[in-house]
Structure 1
Amino acid sequence: MHARTAALAATTVAAGSSGYVVAAVLTDLAADHGVSAAAAGTTITAFALAYAVGSPLLAIATTRFGRRSVLVAALLVATVGNLGAALAPTLDLLLVARVVTACGAALATPAATAVAARLNPGRQARAMAVVTGGLTAATLLGVPAGRFVADQFGYRAAFVLTALLCAAAALVVRAAVPAVPPGPVVDVRQRLAPLADRPVQRLLAVSLLACLGTFSVYGYLGPVLGGSPSGGNLLAYGLGGVLGNAVGGVAADRWGPRPPLLVALGGCAVTMALLPWAVSGPGGAVLLFAWGALFWAFNPPLFAALVALDPDRANLLLALNASAIYAGIAGSGVLGGAVAPVVLPLVGAVITAGAVVLAATIRRPAPEIPAPRSPADDVPVRREVVG
């Protein structure tokens, strides 16, 4: 893969780390500000809501600007937001800083994915997978690194580290990514048009429920485990996520979206339900590895299912899916703070099981593909895709 695609992947690593870092320091953050874990969790909600709302709106607002310039600007906004979080003396100011960070991340990730597709004609899917894989890599690299730095220098240092990642990514993009002209203008009505489609609605709901279930537990992993999560446990989850993302893509190509989507989400629900019984020692790391692998394996088949619904509007569908994901993450901050940590994994498992049930109901026949025929034999053959 070209250096420019690797540079774009660095963008999503930095953006993903900006979003997930709070999970590594939630307990420390709450203690420093003298608030409960639930109150500290509002920083997760604020980030996710700003991302969900800001992603389509910021994309529309910046349509007329060159893509590289947008990427660099977005990463610099995220840098400022992370530095603001590191310096924030009160929880209110921390919330403001997280909203600023979210705006940068919400603009950077879709832009990086779109640029990867435009710069790699003929290899678009592979390039996009590498770039979006940066979000998974963030759980492997950025979050455990943030926990390690927090252990050494305090939790505020984790935000400083994330700011440095964003600034470094901006420099790499500026140096390695060529100038890319603006794309076509797409207004709000065009972006939201797919929401009227019932299968699209259901797939977006699957994303929302899956992320609500998993991130309500992941975001409050410290309270669930009875203390700040160890770097080893976070590393295990991240390693599983990287593997699951890769396997989910291969499985979707081989068997179609439906089987791997159902297996990944079903397995994710089971591993979450088991978390309270294997939270320490090697067993806990193994379970977190499996949880990360199964959760992140659901994304590639769901993306494939969305694209299969309407290839001509794939970019719009994936942008809406990003909003659904972060809407689920926003709700996870509220849910995780409202439910006792001892039962939170079970609640997350039940919600994820609901996503499995919903995914199993989604069917739509694909367009008819005429079979070889003679004038006397004109029978169409239908195939079925997830969606």
Structure 2
Amino acid sequence: MQLSLVSLLIGGLSIGMTEFLMMGVLPDISQSLHITIPDAGHLISIYALGVVIGAPLMVGLAGHYPPRKVLMGLMLMVFIFNGLFAVAPNYALLLIARFFAGLPHGAFFGMGAVVASRLAAPGREARSVAVMFAGLTVANIIGVPLGTFIGHNLSWRLSFGLIAVFALISVICIRLWMPALRPAKALSFRSSLAIFKKANLWLVIGISAIGTGGFFSWISYIAPVMTHVAGFSGNMVTIIMIIIGLGMAAGNFAGGRLADRFSPLVTTAVLLSAMILVLAGFALISAYQLPVIVMTFLTGAIGFAVIAPMQILIMQVAKGAEMLASSVLQATSNFGNALGAYLGGLPIAAGLSYTSPEYVGCGLAFCGLLFCVILLKRRGPGLESSG
């Protein structure tokens, strides 16, 4: 594995922990600051807002600078604002720190995906992109459980200090291991905005914002399904989350290989079809502990397998503005996160079973599949196979 890709993986780990650790230590922050859980939850929402705003903003400001310097600058922001979050004395400063910590998220993965594809051997672009996104899976398998443990038993401030340390390590590794690539020949930022006139781009955005919401509809309510339907103890939820993380890791690399072997578009369509099947299967067998554990691993794998193919796909439909489009994809995936969680919660609030979010997820994944079918019918030179 190239050390340059490892430096991106470490950056992905830091960003993944920044995004997901908050869910694990939310009660600790609430108790520490003497605020309600919903108020503490605003620290999650404002991070997502930072991701959405920061994706195009950071690309617009830094798109023509050398990639190594930009990536170092983005990770320095992650270091600074997670460090500020770790020491902020009041709720207002915590909100500000979380917002600014979200700004580099989309741009880092956007530029990182472009850089990873440039560093890859021909026909291995998606696999290289998958290495960077492996940082998110490592965050879910190791980083978030570790940070949650520290937050519960010592201090949540130490957990976010640890994230800052990982971000600083990433800065150092990028400086040492990332080759001094020249800025990619691309359109100006203003000219790049013309990609939003392309129908194909909006179809890919639809896949990301709606189709991937099926996965988040499932994972957002995994704990009550496992405890109330499958009958696991509350202590088993941490183990179950690690199993999901292992599935994500396996799926991440499998998705990269599939996208290199076949068309990224076809791979995405097949994976969304599989998502519909596993979500329905999960709901039907959720009362049986061993089968539902197996299905949990598979759902995590399929949910993350779609990431690398979609990154390659959006870069194919946005020639000349790949970094902007790739960063926007990160913003839309955060929208898919929010959409899946919100819609998945509606049937539960209406008094239906804890398995009802899985059927909502099936519907969202089916919408994404429809967008894929439309793209397949519009297939042209910009949607070539990678294999």
Q: Give the TM-score, by structure 1 length.
A: 0.80
Question: Does residue 110 of the first structure (1) align with residue 104 of the second (2)?
Answer: no
Give the aligned partner of residue 22 of structure 2: 22
Distance 2:345 2:204 in 1: 26
Give 1:233's aligned residue: 240
Stretches of structure 1 that go unaligned for 5 or more consecutive residues are: 369-382
Alignment pair present for 1:290 and 2:290: no
The gaps in structure 2 that reach 5 residues or longer are 228-233
Post-superposition Cα deviations, 1:213-239, rounded to whole Å, max 9, x if no partner, equal 444664576677676884322211110
Contact 1:37 1:337 in 2 (8 A): no
1:204 CA drift (Å):
1.1
- Superposition pairs of residues 233-312 of structure 1, within 5 angstroms: 233-252=240-259, 253-254=261-262, 256-257=266-267, 259-267=269-277, 269-270=279-280, 273=283, 277=287, 285-307=293-315, 309=317
Tell me how far 1:330 sits from its aligned partner. Answer: 4.7
Q: CA deviation at 1:51?
A: 0.8
CA distance in 2, matches of 1:156, 1:220: 26
1:197 paired residue number: 198
Cα pair distance change 1:166/1:335, threshold 3 Å = farther
| Cα pair 1:42 1:333 within 8 Å, conserved | no
Matched-pair contact (CA < 8 Å) for 2:244–2:296: yes
Give the 3 Å change call, closer, same or farther, for CA 56–284 of structure 1 in structure 2: same
Counterpart of 2:158 in structure 1 is 157
Does residue 44 of structure 1 match 2:44?
yes
Change (3 A) 1:8 1:302: closer
**Greater mean alpha carbon deviation, residues 335-344 or residues 117-126:** 335-344
- Is 1:364 equivalent to 2:377 in the alignment? yes
Aligned to 1:97: 97
8 A contact 1:240–1:290 mirrored in 2: yes
Aligned positions of 1:113-152 closer than 5 A? 113-120=113-120, 122=122, 123-152=124-153
Question: What is the Cα deviation at residue 110 of structure 1?
Answer: 2.2
Amino acid at match of 2:377: R
Which residue of the partner structure matches residue 208 of structure 1? 209
- Relative to structure 1, is the Cα distance of residues 209 and 4 closer, same or farther in structure 2, using a 3 angstrom cutoff? same
- Tell me how far apart the structure 2 counterparts of residues 33 and 223 of structure 1 sit (CA, whole Å): 27
Following the alignment from structure 1 to structure 2, what is the Cα–Cα distance between the partners of residues 29 and 229? 23
Aligned equivalents of 2:67 and 2:313: distance in 1? 27
Find the aligned partners of 2:286 and 2:301 in 1 and give their Cα distance.
Answer: 18
Once the two structures are TM-superposed, the CA of residue 258 in structure 1 deviates from its matched residue by 5.0
How big is the shift at 1:48? Answer: 1.5
Secondary structure of the residue aligned to 1:19 is: helix
Instruction: Tell me the equivalent position of 2:173.
Output: 172
Aligned to 2:62: 62
Kept in 2, the 8 Å contact 1:262–1:356? The answer is yes
TM superposition shift of 1:349:
4.2
Structure 2 Cα separation of the partners of residues 28 and 273 of structure 1: 32
User: What residue identity is the alignment partner of 2:42?
Assistant: T
Displacement after TM superposition at 1:139 (Å): 1.8
* Aligned residue pair count: 369
In structure 1, the partner of 2:230 is none
Q: Is the 8 A contact 1:27 1:37 kept in 2?
A: yes
* 2:355 paired with 1:354: no
Identity %: 25
Q: Do the aligned partners of residues 87 and 269 (structure 1) sit closer, same or farther apart at CA in structure 2, a change above 3 Å counting? A: farther
Counterpart Cα distance in 2 of 1:365 and 1:107: 29
- Measured on the aligned residues, the alpha-carbon RMSD in Å equals 3.5
Q: Using the TM superposition, give the Cα deviation of residue 250 of structure 1 relative to its aligned residue in structure 2, in angstroms.
A: 3.2
1:173-209 Cα distance to aligned partner (Å, 9 max, x none): 1222233333345444433333333343232122112
Per the normalisation by structure 2, the TM-score is: 0.80
